[in-house]
Chains A and B, each alone.
Chain A
Amino acid sequence: MSAHETAFDSSLGAYLLLLPTLAAIGAFLYYPSLQTLRLSVYKTFLFGQNTRFVGLENFTSLLTSNTYLASVGLTFAFAALVVVSTLAVGLLVAFLLYEVTDGKAAYLIAAIWPYALPTAVAGTVLLFLAHPSVGIYTFYLESWFGVEVDWFTVGWQAFLVVAIAAVWKQVGYNVIFMLAALNNVPESLNEACELDGVGTWRRLLRVYVPLMSPTLVFLVVINTIYAFFGSFALIDLMTQGGPTNATNLLIYQLYRDAFQFNNLGLASAESVILFLIVGGLTYVQLRVSDRYAHY
């Protein structure tokens, strides 16, 4: 037993110290989560005035609903796009930061500032700059590249714009962790690379990335969770799920069903499914990393 653990003896004291945390997680985390499970097997009217037990009916109606299934597909596609893009951009920037010899401190701050960027700000700014009618990006895209920007009507364009906003906001966070991981690369390894004449890209991809794999796995998990849940503000501000549900991610569908259509039982069922999906994804990601990560 370490000295730390015997610093104080009173068990009661320990529980008292833990009380605020335990009370908070009991009230705000466990209790509602269990309630979600319970509500998901009821059909509700308004805010709980009438509830009727319906077993798995909510789940079956979700799993047979085209809108819902489309939403599942969209969310996976969105997550894949955002996770991969964020990692790629983050890796590039982190690598450049690692390689630069002068002005590291200044570059660092300039590179990670998006960490402080609120999602709603990212959405609002891009909504304007890429606005099909008055956006400056639209203007240049249309005049220089002849691309027709119409993401208020064209689904995949809206999807892309939201994804770009999501990546923009998340890159800062990734850069921080990746740079930390790169900093842990032993200098001797760098010297060895130099001596062996290993080219830059090979060095990055063959040497650094495997070394960074625990961090990268961690970031994949974090980015996935962000793509699934954190994108809500972007959707609500930029597209409201449209056009025609092209950006109707699971989190947005949940919000609509719960707070616009007042269908609490159904929304709870959606929460349960979301939980299973994200939990499942996390588990898979960690398992895969076990096999491929080099520790």
Chain B
Amino acid sequence: MAAETRREAVSDASSATRLLPDQLSVHVGLVVSILLMASPLLLAIVMSTQTVPEIYDIGDITPGSDGLTNYVSVLTTYDMLTYMVNSLVMSVVVTVGKIAVSLLAAVALVFYDFRFKNGVFFLILFTLMFPVPVRIVPLYELMATLGWSNTLLALTGPYLASATAVFLLRQHFMSIPESLVEAAKVDGVGPLEFLWRVLVPMSRGMITGLGVITFIYSWNQYLWPLIVVSDQNKQVVQVGMKYLQSVGNAGQTDWGLIMAGAVLTLLPPLAVLIAFRNPLLETFGLAE
């Protein structure tokens, strides 16, 4: 009897505790924190529609009268379209290149047995210890020696090999069902065909996820393009925003224009994130 009551009491109490945190406060908490994190961006969007005098009327956060003019002019007069194309080319080449190269490496590491295999894997993994700043000076000189300075080759080459991609793909390949591997052996299929016809289809989610990660990472690069590209019209959009900072009308910095530039710079990776969020989240282990 007493036990029953206690259980009842507990379940009453637990439905009380289930109210804490009640869904309302969770929702409120989420909305507040999301708004807080999004507020700079929202403000930037609003400000990007304002004219210079409206910007300098500081308390004014109502949508301005310039509408989308800033977007048009930042793309055309201020060459942001050129920078965006440069970024796009760079990011696509790096994404495609990195995945292709890492796919090949992962196949070798999983489906072959050879001496030094573990050594090679370790060699690849160890490169995680050398982020760009640790090798930036000689890397820059190397570009000069190869004659790659200020070219797309310099922008993309150093990013083509990736320990992370090899690691993730290798993990994934190791979980390919044995039956498929056996079938390949029996059919005498070559590694590349095996890759195209079996591995890639079975890894679409991961490959897409990797693609998203790589694209976003590559779009985000700043320091390396800053030093290796000296011609403004070959520069990527991240550094391009720096050029916008000196734009002004009769000495007044046109922040509305700069915000338009910033918003535009954010759009491609954001679009990629939203479009491919499911494969991306899966890759991170956050299955829906």
Q: What A residues does B18 contact at CB under 8 A?
A: 194
A1: CB under 8 A from chain B?
yes
Q: Are B238 and A17 in contact (CB under 8 A)?
A: no
B68: CB under 8 A from chain A?
no
Interface positions of B from 153 to 179, Cβ below 8 Å from A:
157-158, 160-161, 166, 173-174, 176, 178
Docked complex Cα distance between A232 and B101 (Å)? 28
Q: Are A125 and B40 in contact (CB under 8 A)?
A: yes
Docked complex Cα distance between A204 and B30 (Å)? 16
Q: Are B110 and A125 in contact (CB under 8 A)?
A: no
Closest to B114 in A: A11
Docked complex Cα distance between A233 and B241 (Å)? 11
Closest to A140 in B: B59
Q: Are A111 and B108 in contact (CB under 8 A)?
A: no
Closest to A265 in B: B137
22 contacts between A and B (CB under 8 A): A4-B174, A5-B112, A7-B181, A8-B111, A15-B114, A17-B112, A18-B120, A22-B124, A28-B135, A31-B142, A32-B137, A35-B138, A48-B141, A92-B29, A105-B288, A118-B219, A118-B265, A128-B44, A134-B55, A138-B58, A197-B17, A237-B241
Q: Are A200 and B265 in contact (CB under 8 A)?
A: no
Closest to B281 in A: A176
Q: Are A5 and B113 in contact (CB under 8 A)?
A: yes
Q: What A residues does B270 contact at CB under 8 A?
A: 113, 116-117
Interface positions of A from 241 to 280, Cβ below 8 Å from B:
251, 254-255, 258-259, 264, 267-268, 271-272, 274-275, 278-279
Q: Mark B248-273, 1 if CB is under 8 A from A, else 0.
A: 00000001001101100110011011
B202: CB under 8 A from chain A?
no
Q: Mark A1-41, 1 if CB is under 8 A from B, else 0.
A: 11111111111011101101110110111111101100100
Instruction: Tell me how far the C-beta of B32 lies from the nearest C-beta in chain A, rounded to whole angstroms.
Output: 10
Q: What B residues does A48 contact at CB under 8 A?
A: 141
Docked complex Cα distance between A15 and B119 (Å)? 13
B204: CB under 8 A from chain A?
no
| Interface size of A as a range | 35 or more
- Known A-B contacts A7-B194, A101-B23, A200-B21; the reply to A21 vs B166 at CB < 8 A is yes
User: Which of A92, A116, A279 is the one whose CB lies under 8 Å from B272?
Assistant: A116
**Which of A60-68, A152-160, A177-185, A284-292 makes up part of the contact surface?**
A177-185
Q: Are A274 and B134 in contact (CB under 8 A)?
A: yes
Instruction: Tell me how far the C-beta of A42 lies from the nearest C-beta in chain B, rounded to whole angstroms.
Output: 11
Q: Are B157 and A28 in contact (CB under 8 A)?
A: yes
Q: Are A267 and B259 in contact (CB under 8 A)?
A: no
User: Which of B40, B115, B185, B227 is the one whose CB lies under 8 Å from A259?
Assistant: B227
A150: CB under 8 A from chain B?
no
B3: CB under 8 A from chain A?
no
A77: CB under 8 A from chain B?
no
User: Which of B117, B176, B255 is the one whose CB lies under 8 Å from A134?
Assistant: B255
Instruction: Tell me how far the C-beta of B274 lies from the nearest C-beta in chain A, rounded to whole angstroms.
Output: 6
Q: Are B129 and A279 in contact (CB under 8 A)?
A: yes
- Known A-B contacts A24-B101, A124-B262, A259-B227; the reply to A116 vs B21 at CB < 8 A is no
Docked complex Cα distance between A37 and B101 (Å)? 28
- Known A-B contacts A5-B111, A115-B273, A259-B227; the reply to A125 vs B259 at CB < 8 A is yes
A47: CB under 8 A from chain B?
yes
Interface positions of A from 217 to 246, Cβ below 8 Å from B:
225, 229, 232-233, 236-237
Q: Are B223 and A120 in contact (CB under 8 A)?
A: no
Q: Are A117 and B266 in contact (CB under 8 A)?
A: yes
Closest to A169 in B: B220
A109: CB under 8 A from chain B?
yes
A199: CB under 8 A from chain B?
yes
Q: Are B44 and A18 in contact (CB under 8 A)?
A: no
Q: Are B111 and A129 in contact (CB under 8 A)?
A: no
Besides A100-B26, A197-B17, 13 other CB < 8 A contacts? A8-B111, A21-B105, A35-B135, A35-B142, A96-B26, A105-B288, A116-B270, A120-B265, A131-B255, A134-B58, A194-B18, A259-B227, A275-B129
B200: CB under 8 A from chain A?
no
Q: Are A121 and B33 in contact (CB under 8 A)?
A: no
A97: CB under 8 A from chain B?
yes
Q: Are A32 and B265 in contact (CB under 8 A)?
A: no
Instruction: Tell me how far the C-beta of B65 lies from the nearest C-beta in chain A, rounded to whole angstroms.
Output: 18
B96: CB under 8 A from chain A?
no
User: Which of B40, B102, B184 is the one whose CB lies under 8 Å from A21?
Assistant: B102
Docked complex Cα distance between A120 and B266 (Å)? 10
Instruction: Tell me how far the C-beta of B19 lies from the nearest C-beta in chain A, rounded to whole angstroms.
Output: 10
Q: Are A121 and B265 in contact (CB under 8 A)?
A: yes
Q: Are B181 and A4 in contact (CB under 8 A)?
A: yes
A151: CB under 8 A from chain B?
no
